[in-house]
């Protein structure tokens, strides 16, 4: 598909668009009746590993919501299996990775040459690309090295990441070994997604905001940069997502992604200014705002658009994934409203600067 056809791909490159593109992290999920129906018959891992199912969820979701990009249905933790660990999803407990990495020997044993075992993800991407026929670009994704490492070391989700931080401080060489292996796996895995037709790649560094900036620079930045450069060498834009990182956006920007995805804990305009408008920017509606009455939600959406100020290179999204229980009609209404309000030449007239303040105040109210 020529890039000019997709407003999402154009925005990734900071090129002019007819209106602001919009998609949502975790747009496929339990809040959607069609997803729940499939989940009654299949486990999450089955859905990820059967390309027909993963493709079906991806396509149905994109078509139901009317979004400008389809993120492939998969899970961030899939690569831990070919590396030699076990993965399961425990209802109510979240993901469990076993056995958790607790010493150098366990890390030395990890495989870094088996990304090929994740071929079902590339197969699913190929099916989606063939079905959508280039109308809606497909986003491939993976976890960033730090977030992957944290799940493998903690054995699942964590609040304070004590074991992860202990490892990087006490055994920096062992930490490097783990990051090197993760980079090798993630690079091969993402390359296979691009070869299958993914036209952009998002790297999820969901939990990197737990780190001090100095530790981020020393222990994480070189590896994130390496994976991002490998993606860019494939000729597709890289989107770098994180949360809780408002205090270290310039360090994240040094990883060099085409698009920086920011959460709602910082005003989008302020975030973009901090990185001197170098990358495109994605975000940053509070996922909680999707539960608000329409008048509030609309104000919050318009406040995000006002922050972007009609500049080229804004991709409307949430600051983190859609939450279970989110009303589907609100998600669809946001897509329509973004497209309408941000239509170029319309947006600036309809939200004059003096109203931005009020929009922000309204958005704040609905955040609470
Ligand atoms: O629509 C999409 O965005 C694509 C699919 C997708 C899933 N997971 C499917 C899924 C994506 C992009 C992810 C990414 C992911 N997985 C992340 C990074 C994004 C983020 O939110 O920060 C992380 C940290 C994971 C690991 C993971 N998978 C967690 C923490 C959970 C929640 C556990 C739970 O029980 O709720 C999952 C499960 C998961 N992955 C679901 C979906 C749709 C919900 C599970 C279900 O149907 O039971």
Question: Catalytic annotation on 151?
Answer: yes
**Helix extents (H) in 73-204:** 80-83, 104-109, 119-132, 145-154, 162-170, 172-195
Please list every protein residue whose CB sits less than 6 Å from any atom of ligand 1: 25-30, 39, 44, 71, 73-77, 89, 94-95, 141, 157, 204, 206, 320-321
Mind listing the pLDDT tens digit of every residue in the chain (368 residues)? 444 479 999 999 999 999 999 999 999 999 999 999 999 999 999 999 999 999 999 999 999 999 999 999 999 999 999 999 999 998 888 999 999 999 999 999 999 999 999 999 999 999 999 999 889 999 999 999 999 999 999 999 999 999 999 999 999 999 999 999 999 999 999 999 999 999 999 999 999 999 999 999 999 999 999 999 999 999 999 999 999 999 999 999 999 999 999 999 999 999 999 999 999 999 999 999 999 999 999 999 999 999 999 999 999 999 999 999 999 999 999 999 999 999 986 444 444 444 545 554 554 454 43
Decide: residue 357, CB within 10 A, 0-12 exposed, 13-18 middle, 19+ buried. Answer: exposed
Q: Quick one: DSSP state of residue 24? A: -
Atom of ligand 1 nearest to the CA of 61: 1
CA angle 361, 364, 368 (to 5 degrees): 145
Q: Which two tokens mark 117?
A: 């075992």
Measured in angstroms, how far is the CA atom of residue 106 from the centroid of ligand 1? Answer: 26
Q: Which two tokens mark 279?
A: 């990358």
**Among residues 7, 35, 112, 151, which one is catalytic?**
151
């Amino acid at each position: 598909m020529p890039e000019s056809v997709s407003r999402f791909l154009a925005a990734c490159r900071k090129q002019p668009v007819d209106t602001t593109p919009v998609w949502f992290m975790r747009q496929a999920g339990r809040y959607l009746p069609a997803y729940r129906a499939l989940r009654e018959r299949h486990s999450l891992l089955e859905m990820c590993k059967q390309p027909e199912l993963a493709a079906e969820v991806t396509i149905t979701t994109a078509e139901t919501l009317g979004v400008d990009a389809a993120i492939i249905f998969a899970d961030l933790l899939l690569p831990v299996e070919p590396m030699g660990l076990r993965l399961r999803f425990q209802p109510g407990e979240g993901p469990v990775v076993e056995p958790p990495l607790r010493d150098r020997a366990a890390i030395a044993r990890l495989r870094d040459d088996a990304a090929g075992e994740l071929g079902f993800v590339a197969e699913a991407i190929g099916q989606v690309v063939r079905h959508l026929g280039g109308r809606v670009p497909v986003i491939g994704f993976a976890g960033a090295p730090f977030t992957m490492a944290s799940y493998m070391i903690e054995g699942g989700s964590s609040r304070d990441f004590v074991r992860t931080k202990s490892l990087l401080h006490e055994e920096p060489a062992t930490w490097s070994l783990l990051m090197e292996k993760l980079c090798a796996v993630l690079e091969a895995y993402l390359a296979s997604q691009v070869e299958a037709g993914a036209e952009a790649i998002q790297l999820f560094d969901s939990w990197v905001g737990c780190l001090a900036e100095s530790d981020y620079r020393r222990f994480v930045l070189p590896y994130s940069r390496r994976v991002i450069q490998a993606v860019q060498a494939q000729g597709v834009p890289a989107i770098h997502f994180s949360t809780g990182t408002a205090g270290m956006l310039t360090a994240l920007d040094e990883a060099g992604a085409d698009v920086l995805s920011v959460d709602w804990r910082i005003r989008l305009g302020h975030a973009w200014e901090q990185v001197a408008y170098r990358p495109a920017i994605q975000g940053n509606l509070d996922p909680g705002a999707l539960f608000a009455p329409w008048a509030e939600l609309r104000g919050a959406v318009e406040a995000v658009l006002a922050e972007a100020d009609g500049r080229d290179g804004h991709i409307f999204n949430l600051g983190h994934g859609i939450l279970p229980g989110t009303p589907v009609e609100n998600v669809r209404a946001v897509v329509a409203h973004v497209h309408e309000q941000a239509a170029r030449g319309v947006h600036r007239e309809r939200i004059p600067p003096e109203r931005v303040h009020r929009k922000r105040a309204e958005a704040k109210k609905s955040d609470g």
